[in-house]
Structure 1
């Protein structure tokens, strides 16, 4: 079931920490983010977009934006553009000031939209790599990988047992 649930999200991006406003236009926010990271995004590339409900209603963090793009390749190219932008701008990674939002300089995160199970596994993997002195954790096509250092091989994290074996 989890595999199917993740597969249904294979064209989706999750955009986190974009400040919310009552009169916001999600379409223009997505297009502006694409413009900032120099990604060519057209209206017909976007299938759907919406904000999702918060898991923790007490959280001050804004609700995430889910964007369904036309193809997984479009999603991957958008993610690659974000990565290049953040690498080329280490002092000013993608943040709310790039959108002209005056409420501070909140960093914006764009990632693959994970199923709830994979989201929990990814969170556990991020904690495990700190404990076990690994340097990298990343997501590719809905799968979670870790790597101890630049020269070690990538390890696929399939489930919580995979983390125990690190």
Structure 2
């Protein structure tokens, strides 16, 4: 009888020990999960700060595409092109309004773009606004190389805001999403990506691919 009682006691002790181990393990798992969530929030906050800093860095930059590059081209030549663009769009740009200007080459083609960093967001936004207005008013003669006194056959010239790399990638994804899902408008403003299905419809601020997935689920 004493032996049976001893065995039961050992079993109870083993069960209690195992139960305590399980409880301790669950506490540790909950702590790890809590720390993981906290780390994820912290990482997201850091990513948002970096994104805001990048947006500020690019907030005064414009990208001008499809302007032929001439041999021996230098910054003075590029500044001349920028001032001509400003004159065509009735937005005077002085040399002191240009903080920097340079060309970048695209990896997937032989084309290049002129990147200009202007003195203020106001000047940048005004130039883009005047560009849209000019093209809407002159649908058969939109901004092109002849307006800029560039020799050769006329080539369309495209102006857009220069986007941070992450936003540029998101904009590319969103444009494809718009084409595939019947959204009429996809654009950027102040370094952010927007989407609208049609005239008069609600516009959506797209911060990540997750926002696009949410739109699909809502359809």
1:30 matches 2:82: yes
Give 1:141's aligned residue: 190
Aligned positions, number: 163
Task: State which structure, 1 or 2, has the greater radius of gyration over its C-alpha atoms.
Answer: 2
Worse-matched range after superposition: 116-125 or 38-47: 38-47
1:80 matches 2:120: no
Please state which structure has a larger fraction of its residues in helix: 2
* Structure 2 residues without counterparts, runs of 5 or longer: 1-49
* Secondary structure at 1:165 match in 2: helix
Give 1:10's aligned residue: 59
* Secondary structure at 2:58 match in 1: coil
Q: Distance in 2 between matches of 1:92 and 1:37?
A: 13
TM-score (normalizing by structure 2): 0.71
Give 2:110's aligned residue: 60
Offset, 1:3: 2.9
Offset, 1:9: 0.8
Offset, 1:46: 1.2
Show structure 1 runs of 4+ deviating over 3 A.
Answer: none
Alignment root-mean-square deviation, CA:
1.4
* Secondary structure at 1:93 match in 2: coil
* Structure 1 residues without counterparts, runs of 5 or longer: none
Q: Distance in 1 between matches of 2:174 and 2:150?
A: 33
1:44-123 alignment, distance < 5 Å: 44-56=96-108, 59-61=109-111, 63-123=112-172
Offset, 1:93: 1.1
Offset, 1:47: 1.1
* Secondary structure at 1:155 match in 2: strand
